[in-house]
Amino acid sequence: MAGSTLPPPDAEAQAHSAHLRAVIQEQIIGAGGCIPFWKFMELALYAPGLGYYSAGAHKFGAGGDFVTAPELSPLFSACVADALAPALRQAGKGALFVELGGGSGAFAEACLLRLQELGALPARYAILEPSADLRQRQRARLQARLPAALFARVEWLDGPIQAQWDGVLFANEVIDALPTPRFVVRNGQVLEECVALDSDGRFVRAEQPADPLLAAAVRRIEAQLPAPFADGYRSEALAQLPYWLQAVVGGLRNGALLFIDYGYARSEYYLPERSDGTLRAFRRHHLIDDVFAWPGLQDITASVDFTALAEAGVGAGFEFSGYCSQASFLLGNGLQQHLQAAEAQAADDIARHNLRQQAKLLTLPSEMGERFQVMGFQRGVELEAAFLLGDLSHRL
């Protein structure tokens, strides 16, 4: 649905956005007239008290800006729990479950209940959530809906666990929200996309020479493609992904990593026809063409280069476990059985119909099934069995 059909935000929301806009304008002026795009994205999403993920706006579910798989259906979380339970058991008695970005708390709720059924509860369920507002929402939801003994296992982290730990780390729709550098190729040179101000103070694209890290990342990508980037080709390159991955893993000794996000293998990500990258914004379930519109009120996101993620995981000392579509992953980890069990408990035909619709949204190619992909890594535990259906690793 086009962004033009969406009514403008209310007066309070507009004032909030104007405040954040002024903060970003000050940063641009203070930096000499432009800032890297990744810095703009970081401020728009995470500026304390003002950024999209830092402020108190309702983001998840039908009344928010987008619906994630855990909010859509507990079937999703049950399948993930089934996939990770063997690794949790192998990680030992003190195993931890670390979730990056807990969303509304819907995933933690359904996952813990399923792990309890499986007899595979972690010693602690830790949520690494940078947003104070979302922490409060997660805590309220889990305290209200989980048995007291289960809720007692939940904790919130201020940062990655630096001490040695064993267990699993899970991230759903996290990497797409990492502030990403943007590049453009001009006359054979790699430039970095920046954000500047026009004469009226509006945000506009600008360019400056890329720093060595970004330039090297773009050249490595280009070397793996059938042909060099065309002049004017513009996209994203998350050059800091290996460092981010090593940071969030912290002191993980034996365990598994599982990432679910939308994206492509590298050869598909950087197709010639995708010459303006994958950057986009969402507000109230509408795709917004202008990522500069309404800072603080809209999500800004870019697809994941799963080849880069595979390189980062192996580079961090983990063994590659597998890569497949979300549909294949869910179907290979008990979706049909979970759906049948839920239907058997459903109150009426309407509830059963809703469950079937949820399963379709999670798996249909036109919905989440193919757009979202799953990648896993392991060290000292086994996660390969979670990827027995629909292997896509040949595309990497």
Residues whose CB is less than 8 angstroms from the CB of residue 243 and which lie 6 or more positions away in sequence, other chains included: none
CA count, 13 A, side-chain hemisphere, 212: 0
d(CA 309, CA 312): 5
Nearest C-alpha neighbor of 169 from the set 280, 279, 313: 313
What confidence tier does 54 reach under pLDDT thresholds 50, 70, 90? confident
Structure tokens at 388: 């027995």
Backbone angles phi, psi at 85, to 5 degrees: -55, -45
Per-residue pLDDT, 58: 52
Residue 317's CB is within 10 A of a number of other CB atoms, namely 11
pLDDT at 292 over 50: yes
Nearest C-alpha neighbor of 130 from the set 93, 99, 107: 99
Does residue 35 sit in helix, strand or coil? strand
Structure tokens at 309: 């993620």
CB 181 within 8 A of CB 38: yes
Which residue intervals of 270-396 are DSSP H helices?
A: 306-315, 326-332, 335-345, 349-363
Instruction: Report the range of poorest mean pLDDT among 130-139, 179-188, 341-350, 387-396.
Output: 130-139
What confidence tier does 3 reach under pLDDT thresholds 50, 70, 90? very low
* Mean pLDDT on 186-196: 97
What confidence tier does 67 reach under pLDDT thresholds 50, 70, 90? confident
d(CA 256, CA 91): 9
Q: Is the sign of the CA dihedral 66, 70, 76, 82 positive or negative?
A: positive
Structure tokens at 239: 């050059």
CB 147 within 8 A of CB 178: no
Cα-only R_g, the chain: 21
pLDDT at 117 over 70: yes
Nearest C-alpha neighbor of 51 from the set 291, 373, 302, 299: 299
Helices 132-145/106-118 angle, 10° precision: 40
Residues whose CB is less than 8 angstroms from the CB of residue 11 and which lie 6 or more positions away in sequence, other chains included: none
* Mean pLDDT on 84-104: 96
318 versus 131: which is more confidently predicted? 318
Q: What CATH number should be reported for the domain whose range is 13-396?
A: 3.40.50.12710
pLDDT digits (tens, 9 = 90+) for 316-335: 999 999 999 999 999 999 99
What confidence tier does 2 reach under pLDDT thresholds 50, 70, 90? very low
Residue 47's CB is within 10 A of a number of other CB atoms, namely 20
Per-residue pLDDT, 284: 83
d(CA 173, CA 189): 32
pLDDT digits (tens, 9 = 90+) for 336-389: 999 999 999 999 999 999 999 999 999 999 999 999 999 999 999 999 999 999
DSSP states along 184-220: EEETTEEEEEEEEE-TTS-EEEEEEEPPHHHHHHHHH
> In Å, how far are 151, 282, 289, 361 from 366, measured between CA atoms?
36, 18, 21, 8
pLDDT at 143 over 90: yes
